[in-house]
Amino acid sequence: MTVKATDELVFLPLGGSGEIGMNLNLYGYGPPERRKWLMVDLGITFGDESTPGVDVIMPDIRFIAERRRDLVGLIVTHGHEDHIGAVAHLWPQLKCPIYATPFTAVLVRAKLQEADIDAKVTVVELGGKISLDPFEVELITLTHSIPEPNAVAIRTPLGTVLNTGDWKIDADPLVGEVTDEEALRRLGDEGVLAMTCDSTNVFVPGRAGSENDVRDNITRLIAEHPGRRIAVTAFASNVARLETVALAARDAGRSTALVGRSMRRMVAAAQSTGYITHLPSFVQEEEAGMISGEDIVYLCTGSQGEMGSALARIATGEHRSAPLDPGDVVIFSSRVIPGNEKRVGALQNALAARGIEIITDSDHHVHVSGHPCRDELADMYRWVRPKVAIPVHGEIRHMMEHKRFAESLQVPNAVVAPNGSMLKLAPGAPTIIDEVPHGRIHLDGRVPVLEGDSLARNRRGLSFAGFAGVTAIVDAKGRALTSPTLVSEGIPETVAAAMRNAADEAARGARIADDEEGAERIRRAVRRAAQSAWGKKPMVKVEIVRLQADRK
Amino acid sequence: MTVKATDELVFLPLGGSGEIGMNLNLYGYGPPERRKWLMVDLGITFGDESTPGVDVIMPDIRFIAERRRDLVGLIVTHGHEDHIGAVAHLWPQLKCPIYATPFTAVLVRAKLQEADIDAKVTVVELGGKISLDPFEVELITLTHSIPEPNAVAIRTPLGTVLNTGDWKIDADPLVGEVTDEEALRRLGDEGVLAMTCDSTNVFVPGRAGSENDVRDNITRLIAEHPGRRIAVTAFASNVARLETVALAARDAGRSTALVGRSMRRMVAAAQSTGYITHLPSFVQEEEAGMISGEDIVYLCTGSQGEMGSALARIATGEHRSAPLDPGDVVIFSSRVIPGNEKRVGALQNALAARGIEIITDSDHHVHVSGHPCRDELADMYRWVRPKVAIPVHGEIRHMMEHKRFAESLQVPNAVVAPNGSMLKLAPGAPTIIDEVPHGRIHLDGRVPVLEGDSLARNRRGLSFAGFAGVTAIVDAKGRALTSPTLVSEGIPETVAAAMRNAADEAARGARIADDEEGAERIRRAVRRAAQSAWGKKPMVKVEIVRLQADRK
């Protein structure tokens, strides 16, 4: 393939650069007006306290949806929600081919099926190649905290980009292959123009550690608590960890019960693709309650303190299949995702209050991260030797630190390109040449809305000082026919009464000639009354109803 | 003093046992019907995302307010908000004498004055004694993260209790005295029945470390960044830390500006009681902007990412007196209080995005905790040798772990007594003999409400699915005179329109004979419409207005 003078190779993140979550990386090749695009990952992020009522947040894909005829395909690197979670929601706007390795394909297909979407997912073998003109794509197997994490090597006539996806270096990941260092070195020898690379743990010195270290500890801990019921909570997608628990239980003469839907689902996906098929069969949740305490380990969801999860119900003693008593043990084989600290603390307090012993990664080595720490990043840069380091998968502070770190490793260029930045990689020096529309889509109930139009912010406002809706009923001449109604929520009754009086006075005080002016007058009077009685101003909306009736 | 057969010595926490915050410990002596009470600390806790619109939460003091004639006094151990914050709010219900050491007395008096409350605060010297019949009280100087932390030794005819308050062991606290180990050992020799002790860091092995270690690092860091503006954020009450920054700045040839009201306030309180009087005078905030970058250090509030704080305004470049440019440095000489992780992360991202270098305690040793880690707890138990260990100042999981830890140190009895538990300490074995009314008071705006009656929960509900207030206007026969009004907030317009239609249909569909029945019928129809259009059900309230007018 010949390179034309106007051809460019660009990188454009629409998600995941400036946040940890919602990954969406685009690679473009060709002249600006006729560029072809390759998408890598299409994830979601979860709403938090700043977005009440919004559980799922997705990238704004307007830019690429408008160019979907030039989108040659979507490759998903691995099966975590922040990489595949938006596929079912957004594919209808893209209608492109989807490529994934076998295990990830099972997870993506399940999502598509659930959403009743008829998209085709092509399975690519580990280490496989796909030709998506003008991109020649090769998958390179890495290690992470889920089976089949893939880096994507994207070869173009203007150079090769390596999209690492999420990774760590684990010499003994227990389930799946080890990091394909050989392939990375080979790619480095061949020459890599740019590498977009995981920034999650850039502040953490050393190495993440191997999944195998955790196995030894969990095996010992389960063996050390004979005669007590044991529950282990872990991320369901960490199939190696699930295997560890099952094997540790077996070594201690116990069965393992899967408690929680996502546990069962993930085990089924893993077994259907040939992973963990050698394990003793798991006990069904319904039968678990009939097995005596010393003979079982409950492997359950809920490590983040999620309401209604298996562990939350176990903590309150509500879970019929997994009853725990004082002296029993819960192992948190997980970390606390930032933002969940209070919720997890509350769960642990509920367990502690019932006399249950809690083991976490702060007192025992029962969890390892799936992301590269500084020494691992240094290894990766040494193997791949990119000319341009592009930190992704991080908040701005992580990306800035990753840039500094890459520079310290003698990478010639390191560029922080936040979501929406079109970064030209070739020809010439890496330069941000454009900012395209980008942002977040809130899934509010079933309704997707742009973050800027989202009502989550208004609702958050309601949570501070409540709301009052006033309806004033007047006659044709604007005279009050009766006292205005005031319906409120979140406002103390004494305050609401003062507000009601204020509305009445304002409505009766003067004729309402103009609806808008009258409504504003009442609104102000009502808010003033709240401020005076309460020290806070609720949101107030006023409607004027004009009836052709006489005053009584 | 003779002991009567019916005399008892009891401990009763009304706050701080089951939470970190809002400390209130009561000690009672005498027969049940005529017990005298001594209160130690009267603090607040801060509201969080689970209590929107409520910034301040206080203990429910009903039990002791009803017995205020038997309350011999309030001793505040030190000046942190979780120990003194509720004094001005709740003293009017108690009207008891208040005792504090000089620095703490300045802080308490300022609070009382601000609230226009005429309570008397008696100053007790460090190591001083107070006779509050039947309690003989002795203060023992400890170390913490604020000047003048005091343990309270309470001698009674039935034995001595040591209330540690907040403490650590710091051989070089820089400001104030070292831990009075001698007095603690002496008390131990004399015999201590029970010790109520800080549980905050019970999960942390080792020792908290000395304030002096931090001084070396901050001095080096400031010296290592010549020619760049430096801002340091710290807890204002950590006077030793403020001194450290001022001295480190002086060593580097810089002035220090205090930025933020609580910084100025705390420095004034310290200097008025003879602390940090030897420092070069601080630059006034207004003048700071006129000093060139290499000549200044900004010492500022906002380490927890508080909105509108000095550092938050510095981060966005809005602070006129403390402008920072790319390449400038912010040192977080603080820890992140659990629950504030996201807010602090957002602040650090805002700084990073502007190219400002961030130094935190995760990369440099620029902060030490003020609470005892396990080795320090072991020292304290070795010195004091109480017969009963009573963990306080912790969530349930901390208190349970503290109990286990005390038992491992051979303390004969360790008892977890959550808020409201009346724990009889003598005569006989320690036993929880009663549970008294206890709980939390939300300060909602200016209105104090019992947690159970608090509207924060309802308001939180509003934040998930919004609110709609419907007013239906009907004639005497219950026929709709017009379409009902629907005012809403937090609900997408398309959904609100569907809800409005549903209200109209429900109001017109049948006569409203009974207001309550009619309102409920409309409410259900409206919520059903929301569910169908949106997948969520907002809060809906309906008012029926009955007018003596004819239908038009």
Which of A464, A504, A552 best probes binding to B when mutated, by most B CB atoms within 10 angstroms? A464
Contact A550 B547 (CB under 8 A): no
pLDDT at A444: 95
Of B338, B459, B487, Cβ closest to residue A543: B487
> Percentage of residues in chain A with pLDDT exceeding 70?
99
Specify the pLDDT at position B551: 46
- Which chain B residues are Cβ-neighbours of A461 within 8 angstroms? 489
pLDDT at A401 over 50: yes
Joined together, the tokens standing for residue A343 give 């919720």
Chain B residue with minimum CA distance to A546: B482
Query: Cβ–Cβ of A545/B485 closer than 8 Å?
Result: yes
Q: What is the pLDDT of residues A420-478, one digit of tens each?
A: 999 999 999 999 999 999 999 999 999 999 999 999 999 999 999 999 999 999 999 99
Mean pLDDT calculated for residue range B316-341: 91
- In the predicted structure, residue A253 carries a pLDDT above the cut 50: yes
Burial class of residue B271, CB neighbours in 10 A (0-12, 13-18, 19+): middle
Strand segments, DSSP code E, in A234-279 are 255-259
Cα separation, A458 vs A445, in Å, equals 15
Q: Which of B341, B460, B464 sits opposite A339 (nearest CB)?
A: B341
Between strands B194-198 and B159-163, the pairing is parallel
Identify whether the C-beta of residue B345 lies closer than 8 Å to the C-beta of residue A20.
Answer: no
DSSP string computed for A430-493: -EEEEE----EEEEETTEEEEGGG-SHHHHHHHHHH-EEEEEEEEETTS-BSSPPEEEEESS-H
* Predicted pLDDT of residue B329: 96
Q: Which pairing describes strands B431-435 and B539-547: parallel, antiparallel, or unpaired? A: unpaired
* DSSP-assigned letter for residue A352: H
- A-chain residues near B547 (CB < 8 A): 473, 481-482, 547, 549, 552
Q: Are residues B469 and A466, on separate chains, in Cβ contact within 8 Å?
A: no
Is A458 in Cβ contact with B462 (below 8 Å)?
no
What secondary structure letter does DSSP report for A2?
P
Q: With beta carbons under 8 A apart, name residues in chain A contacting B18.
A: 349
What percent of chain B stands above pLDDT 70? Answer: 99
- For chain A, which residues make up each domain, given as ranges? 8-206+369-447, 211-359, 454-546
DSSP A157: T
Question: Tokens standing for B520?
Answer: 């409920």
In angstroms, the separation between the Cα of residue A473 and the nearest Cα of chain B is: 9
Pick the residue from chain B with its C-alpha nearest to A351.
B397
Specify the 3-state DSSP secondary structure of B118: coil
Average of per-residue pLDDT values in chain B:
95
SS3 B59: strand
B444 interaction partners in chain A (CB closer than 8 Å): 492, 534, 536
A467, B464: Cβ pair inside 8 Å?
A: no
Give the residue on A whose Cα is nearest the Cα of B362. A203
Contacts of B488 in chain A (CB under 8 A): 469, 541
ipTM of the complex: 0.90
Model confidence at A77, in pLDDT bands (50, 70, 90)?
Answer: very high
Mean per-residue pLDDT for B408-424? Answer: 98
Q: Closest Cα to residue A469, out of B427, B467, B35?
A: B467
* B345, B246 contact by CB (below 8 A): no
> Quick check: helix, strand or coil at residue B511?
coil
Q: pLDDT grade, residue B1 (50/70/90)?
A: low
Helical (H) or strand (E) element with A515: helix A515-534
Q: Do A471 and B471 touch (CB under 8 A)?
A: yes
Cβ–Cβ gap A50/B342 under 8 Å? yes
Confidence of residue A287 (pLDDT cuts 50, 70, 90): confident
Instruction: Report the CATH number of the B8-206+369-447 domain.
Output: 3.60.15.10
Q: Which residues of B touch A342 (CB under 8 A)?
A: 48-50, 338-339
Which among A458, A464, A536 has CB closest to B490?
A: A458
Tell me the pLDDT tens digit for each residue of A316-337: 888 888 889 999 999 999 999 9
> Which residues of A are less than 8 Å from B541 in CB distance?
487-489
CATH architecture of A211-359: 3-Layer(aba) Sandwich (3.40)
Give the mutation candidate from A332, A349, A522 for the B interface (greatest B CB count, under 10 A): A349
Tell me if B459 and A458 make a contact (CB, 8 A cut-off).
Answer: no
Encoded tokens for A531: 């401020």
Nearest to A483 by CA among A501, A496, A510: A501
**Residues of A in Cβ contact (< 8 Å) with B362:** 203
Q: Given an 8 Å threshold on Cβ–Cβ distance, is B465 in contact with A445? A: yes
Contact A389, A162 (CB under 8 A): no
Residues of B in contact with A48 (CB under 8 A): 342
Q: Which positions in chain B touch A396 (Cβ < 8 Å)?
A: 349, 352-353
What is the least distance, in Å, from the CA of B416 to any CA of chain A? 10
Taking contacts as CB-CB distances below 8 angstroms, the residues of chain B near A449 are 492
- What number of CA atoms fall less than 13 Å from residue B440's CA on the CB side? 23
Residues of chain B contacting residue A485, judged by C-beta atoms under 8 Å apart:
471, 543, 545
Q: Which of A224-238, A282-296, B436-450 has the lowest mean pLDDT?
A: A282-296
Mean of pLDDT over chain A? 95
Do residues A9 and A22 touch, judged by C-beta distance below 8 A?
no
Residue B548 in this model has a pLDDT that exceeds 80: no
In this complex, which of A338, A352, A445 lies closest to B535 when CB atoms are compared?
A445
Class of domain A454-546: alpha beta
The closest alpha carbon to B306, from B274, B272, B273, B261, belongs to B261
Exposure class string for A505-532: b at 16+ Cβ within 10 A, else e: ebbeeeebeebeebbebbbebbbebbee
Q: Which helix (H) or strand (E) holds B521?
A: helix B515-534
Å between B470 CA and nearest CA of chain A: 8
**d(C-alpha A457, C-alpha A463), whole Å:** 10
Residues of B in contact with A494 (CB under 8 A): 447
The number of C-beta contacts closer than 8 angstroms across A and B is 221
Q: List residues bridging with B139 in a β-sheet.
A: B152
Chain B nearest-CA distance from A492, in A, is 7
Residue written as tokens 């080795």? B375
In chain B, which residues have their Cβ closer than 8 Å to the Cβ of A49?
Answer: 49, 342
Mark yes or no for CB contact A552/B547 under 8 Å: yes
Q: What is the pLDDT of residues B168-219, one digit of tens each?
A: 999 999 999 999 999 999 999 999 999 999 999 999 999 999 999 999 999 9
> What is the distance in angstroms between the Cα of B551 and the nearest Cα belonging to chain A?
9
Please write the tens of the pLDDT for every residue from B249-301.
Answer: 999 999 999 999 999 999 999 999 999 999 988 998 888 888 888 899 999 99
Contact A492 B447 (CB under 8 A): yes
Of A444, A455, A463, the CB nearest to B53: A463
User: CB B352 to CB A488 under 8 A?
Assistant: no
Decide if A484 contacts A504 (C-beta within 8 A): yes
Contact B63, B105 (CB under 8 A): no
Q: Which helix (H) or strand (E) holds A150?
A: strand A150-156
Query: What is residue A550's predicted lDDT score, i.e. its pLDDT?
Result: 52
Nearest residue to B380 (alpha-carbon basis) of B128, B21, B140, B157 = B140
> Which band of pLDDT confidence, cut at 50, 70 and 90, is reported for residue A294?
confident
Residue A552 has pLDDT above 60, yes or no: no
Bridge partners of residue A426, in order along the sequence: A9
Closest approach of B143 to chain A, Cα-based (Å): 26
**Interatomic CA distance for residues A504 and A327, integer angstroms:** 62
Q: Pick from A339, A462, A543: which is nearest to B463 by CB?
A: A462
Confidence grade of residue B338 (pLDDT, cut at 50, 70, 90): confident
Six-digit token string for B467? 């609110």
Contact B485 A543 (CB under 8 A): yes
